Structure 1
Amino acid sequence: MTNAEIARILREIAFFLEMEEIPFKPRAYEKAAYAIEALDAPLDEIYRRGRIKAVEEVPGVGRSIAEKLVTLIETGKLPYYEGLRLKSPVDIEQLTAIEGLGPKKVKVLYDQLGIRTVDDLERAALEGKIHQLPHFGEKSEQKILKGISFFKKSGSRYPIGVILPVIRDIERLLEKVPGVKRLAVAGSIRRWKETIGDGDLLAVSNDPDRVMDFFISMPEVIYIHAKGPTKSSIKIKSGIDVDLRVVPEESFGAALCYFTGSKAHNIHLRKIAIGKGLKLSEYGVFRGERPIAGRTEEEVYAALGLPFIPPELREETGEIESALAERLPNLIDYDELRGDLQTQTNWTDGAYSIEEMAAEAKRLGREYIAITDHTKSLAMAKGSDEKRLRKQMAAIDELNKKLRGITLLKGAEVNIDKDGRLDIDDETLARLDVVGIAVHSHFGLSREQMTRRVIRAMENPHADILFHPTGRIIQKREPYEIDIDAVIQAARRTGTALEVDAFPDRLDLKDEHIRKAVEAGVKLVIDSDAHHIHHLSYLQFGIATARRGWAKRSDVLNTLPLNAFLASLKDGKERGRKKHFGVMQVRKGR
């Protein structure tokens, strides 16, 4: 079984246990799921190398879960999981994808109305049965119907954060097949689209039959659409279709360009080729019958008189015109972030301690991270009031005296009240190193009301960053109504940075809004929104989204060294001298 499939089963176990209101265990299974998803090697390989002891060494996996994982690896089944499903035979994954439905509400719906599927849920809501249940009401019923409509509109596409680990698993398996000389992921995954319809892989091999035989016989395959000497197509357990093509080495670059897309980008390239008397296809660039380029993408673009265009830009949104005019931006690279400005810990709704989050961030090469736990208005997340925030600040100061190689910044994810005020007093905010502000409630305000609310919060002199500015959750919750152009102009006027939230369910700001912000000269930060140590690696999704929005290194504040970053925040150096004295002193003493 792939790591992604194992993680899905563990996550569903957590949901079922939460339905039964069993304490502590759901979080343990959730932590194990994240840990397995983040592994660099397949769990079954780890098990084969070191048996159950090696499985227990995976962070977050104790003896009990390790034993269940061994059963899964050895048999492909888990009686414990099947027993939970038998007790509550609901489609937990799809039902909890509807906004406002958690495991406990799913249980009420099953117990009271026998609801097992999204279709059952829609039928009950349309018949007016849900609002009669305790703790639901008519607004909840309408919200569920709206969530179902949004869920269905998403169709058969999947968030990139769900599909990328699955495709990477397949990529690792194929790389080990004898005879595979080159392998690449193409399609919308390579362009880092926020949702993915299918997977595309390209290979160069001197034994294509062996590669295809392996591809169609992988354990995750549930249906074989087609098998041929150069192309095979399968459906895997996650529901996505994946194609594999074996191409000649001399055509690999042309094929990679063609199958990366987008379709509109490719059409434009072909028009340029025709204008030069050339022919462009997945086999190469030809003058008449003679191939003149195709081995690498760089060759293909050069033959058309263009510099290499990064895959993230290939959406026919002006990238070819910019390339012809030599005005392509030098995009932020994937290794250029020095810090992470939104992380949550077990002080509120995170899974790990401040020290554990710092250790993992350091391992990933971060120079600084801000601890930004929720504030008091978010009661469901155990949000901190002023007194508790000050206690946490003191704890961070003490940790900074011990830590080496990374600095912790005192921060908070401060809730924006309905009227635009912040739920923490200014005196406390002034003592924080980084103040993120965010909307977590009253999503139904009008466009005018929401815009006024957010801008008022941005005008607070202590508000450094607007977190997840549109509030969307991909395929689960639409953005709230807001005038993003007005927010961008307010960010420029007030010196408030806008966040690119890298959590793959959010990717907020989205690419088109990032491009608007960049063009307006508004500064960005890219954050993981980590609630778990393994979320800290999500920054890659935010960087990719920023690249799709044409962002350069200079547009992103957390590419700066610590002191330069602190000086770049609202009120700059003057505020920095007052506000960040503790951090500066700690760094000086090292």
Structure 2
Amino acid sequence: MRNREVAELFYEVADILEYQQVEWKPRAYRKAAQMIENLGKDIETIYAREGKAGLTRIPGVGGSIADHIAEYLKTGRVEKFEKLKGKAPSGAAELMEIRGLGAKKMKKLADALGIRTLSDLKNAIAAHRLRRLEGFGEKTEENLAKAIEQYEKSHARIALGKALPIADEIISALKARCKDTTSKVDLSKIIYTGSLRRLKETIGDIDILAEAKKGEALKVMNCFVSLPDVDQVILKGITKSSVILKEGTAIDLRVVPPESYGAALQYFTGSKEHNIELRNIAIKKGYKLSEYGLYLKESGKQIAGSSEEEIYKTLGLAYIPPELRENRGEIKAAAKNALPKLIEQSDLRGDLHVHTNYSEGKDSLKTMIERAEALGYEYIAITDHSRSQKIARGLEIEKLKAQWEEIDKLSKRFRIKILKGSEVDILKDGNLDYPDEILKELDVVLGSIHSGFALPEKEMTERIVMALENRYLDILAHPSGRLLGKREPYAVNYERVFEAAAANGKLIEINSQPSRLDLNDELILRAKTFGIKFCISTDSHSATDLSFMRYGIGQARRGWIEKEDVVNTYPYSRLKEILKKSKE
């Protein structure tokens, strides 16, 4: 499907022409772009069947624009547009997206102050240079500064832990609004798509897809753009609308008919590389695949499209879960019916990394246990920080023993099994933060690094390997040490770390904290090849954090992890055996 490509091309050209102060052409190109974007039919199919005459029957598409479309569909470029782009300032397209900065103002800023990029504009505003120009003033500067801030927020990568709750809230609010208003539309099929559905650790915009019958799409869009959290409506159409929320996040909503819902869901979930491979398979089998459906190439008859499952099945593939759609071997595996049976959140029986207010946690031991039991867990490990973590109120030995006594008392009051554990610092020399006589009394020992992140790779690797060779260590926690957007992973030879973990029967943690998501999917894939077992833990610092498990499950699924790979899917008796064996 190339409607989006053609529409985006015309939008871009319209921006350039507007900057050059061409009078009517920008409006014509924008109108054509919007009509093509909301067409509901495959423009490539229209051209193949009906030629230029079919294109000119699209509202807003005249003879000249039809020629441009035909040239683009044949060659992937329009020569006239390429020349036009070559004459345009490189930063013009970005500046065009700043609210309140039209083409005339941009031209004036470029001529008077040499402002041609967003960076130039920010610097000029900071130096109060704009207010000196006729037609600009202090208020204009303030408004443009706010508009830039909003633009940068909406175009920044969003952490999964922020994006997923926003998407859930918007979908819930939209379903309720459509049902309660005069539109009375039941959005039974609505879901987020794109990299968010693939549960990537960061995403761009939030994309949502909904199914609606003919005549209901506009009602859905009216509900969407009028949601209380919407600050700015960028685009409103019958098939696509775009808004920016008050907190700065950009959201696109697409609405498709039932016969195309599955095809659209597959297409907009991606990834791009995965979709290219699927289209190639379709072509080889005599089909054509687009976001509208799967069609017979010769007759144009639709043979699949209402569900993703039928798309994959018709192409001779097993259904591929969204998290695997990265073109990393999943298509070949699906063709052989050899995909892994990915772990589900319902498979988990407990959480092995939890903090309480004994150290830096917010909630009491009792509160954390109550919440874990309410989640239906069979067991929970209490793993407050060890004594070296002064900033996290790490436990001295006497305080740790006092916690053991409280656990013994609480164990008599709860169904859930409570493991006595600790997140023990791996010191710079590779030793653990408690002596062996304390470590051997613990049910579970997590080893982690909280200092000395800048050590050279060789030293960091030896430090971790030495810890993994300690008989009392059970789990290597948040193994790369990264904090998303704040701290890069430390330098370490992961091959050696994974070899040491496998050789010593140690577990590797998949940390579900949204700020960590550590290990990432690529390292999970590598670790799995060593035969290593994992645990998926929340690293909770409050009772509400126990819900973070969904993020760790997402990373595990992206790493092709199955139930048997994860020890906290095991019954308590089997888990105890695993932990005992690692100490032998």
When normalised by structure 1's length, the TM-score is: 0.70
| C-alpha contact 1:411 1:432 (8 A) present in aligned 2 | yes
- Residue 169 of structure 1 corresponds to 169
How much has 1:185 moved relative to structure 2?
A: 1.4
Q: Residues 303, 343 of structure 1: CA spacing in aligned structure 2 closer, same or farther, 3 A cutoff?
A: same
Compute the displacement of 1:571 (Å): 2.3
C-alpha displacement at 1:155, in angstroms? 7.2
Of the three residues 386, 392, 406, the one matched with 2:403 is 392
Maintained 8 Å contact 1:222/1:236: yes
Name the counterpart of 2:58: none
- In the TM superposition, residue 325 of structure 1 has moved relative to its aligned partner by 2.1
Does the 8 A contact of 1:414 with 1:438 survive in 2? yes
Equivalent in the alignment of 2:272: 263
Partner of 1:322: 333
2:212 aligned residue:
205
Structure 2 match to 1:364: 375
The Cα of 1:326 is off from its aligned counterpart by: 2.1
1:310 aligns with 2:317: no
C-alpha change, 1:482 and 1:570, in structure 2 (3 Å) is farther
Matched, 1:474 2:481: no
2:560 and 2:483 mapped to 1: Cα distance?
22
Q: Does 1:189 align with 2:196?
A: yes
Secondary structure at the aligned position of 1:421 is classed as coil
Q: 1:484, CA displacement in angstroms? A: 1.2
Give 2:237's match in structure 1, choosing from 210, 228, 234. Answer: 228
Q: What does residue 553 of structure 2 align with? A: 543
Q: Aligned residue pairs: how many?
A: 425
Separation in structure 1 between the aligned mates of residue 492 and residue 324 of structure 2, nearest angstrom? 26
Residue of structure 1 equivalent to 2:437: 427
Range with bigger deviation, 419-428 or 181-190: 181-190
Q: How does 1:403-414 map to 2 (within 5 A)?
A: 403-404=414-415, 406-414=416-424
Equivalence map 1:103-142=2 (5 Å): none
Tell me, yes or no, if the aligned pair for 1:466 and 1:496 is still in contact at 8 Å.
yes
Unaligned runs of 5+ in 1: 1-118, 124-151, 576-590
Deviations 1:430-489 (A, max 9, x none): 000000010000111000010100111111100000000000011111011111111111
Task: Give the whole-Å Cα distance in 2 for the aligned partners of 1:433 and 1:225.
Answer: 56
The more displaced of 352-361 and 211-220 is 211-220
Give the alignment partner of residue 252 of structure 1, picking from 254, 257, 261.
261
Counterpart residue number, 2:511: 501
Report if aligned partners of 2:198, 2:323 keep a CA contact under 8 Å in 1: yes
Contact persistence 1:364–1:537 (CA under 8 A): no
Instruction: Report the more deviating stretch, 491-500 or 395-404.
Output: 395-404
Q: Is the 8 A contact 2:420 2:444 kept in 1?
A: yes
Three-state SS of the structure 1 residue aligned to 2:306 is coil
Q: Judging changes above 3 Å, is the alpha-carbon distance between structure 1 residues 155 and 488 closer, same or farther for their aligned structure 2 residues?
A: farther
Note the C-alpha offset of 1:520. Answer: 1.3
Aligned partners of 1:378 and 1:386: how far apart in 2?
13
The one of 356, 376, 385 equivalent to 1:374 is 385
SS at match of 2:275: helix
- 1:427 Cα deviation after fit: 0.5
Q: Give the partner amino acid of 2:393.
A: K
Does the residue aligned with 2:453 lie in a helix, a strand or coil?
A: coil
Per-residue deviation, 1:551: 0.5
**Aligned with 2:529: secondary structure?**
helix
Q: CA shift at 1:570, angstroms?
A: 5.3
Distance 1:492 1:396 in 2: 32
Counterpart residue type for residue 428 of structure 1: I
Q: Given that residues 263 and 292 in structure 2 are in contact (C-alpha distance below 8 angstroms), is that contact kept between their aligned partners in structure 1?
A: yes
SS at match of 1:571: helix
Counterpart residue number, 1:490? 500
Task: Report the residue type matching 2:578 in the other structure.
Answer: S
**SS at structure 2 position matched to 1:215:** helix
**Among 291, 297, 308, the residue aligned to 1:297:** 308
Q: Residues of 2 paired with 1:408 and 1:515: CA distance? A: 31
Separation of aligned partners in 2, 1:386 and 1:155: 48
Instruction: State the one-letter code of the partner of 2:211.
Output: V
Query: Residues 155 and 205 of structure 2 are in contact (CA less than 8 Å); yes or no, is this contact kept in structure 1?
Result: no
> In the alignment, what sits opposite 2:83?
none
Contact 2:189/2:211 (<8 A) preserved: yes
Matched, 1:333 2:344: yes
CA contact (8 A) 1:201 1:243 kept: yes
After superposition, give the CA deviation of every residue in 1:173-195 in whole Å (9 maximum; x if it has no partner).
12221213421111111100000
CA distance in 2, matches of 1:239, 1:526: 32
* Alpha-carbon displacement from aligned partner over 1:383-433 (angstroms, at most 9, x marks no partner): 0122221221121111111212x1110000000111111110100110000
Q: CA RMSD in A?
A: 1.8
Answer with 279-288 or 152-161: which moved more.
152-161
Residues 492 and 520 of structure 1 are in contact (CA less than 8 Å); yes or no, is this contact kept in structure 2?
yes
8 Å contact from structure 1 (residues 154, 475) kept in 2: no
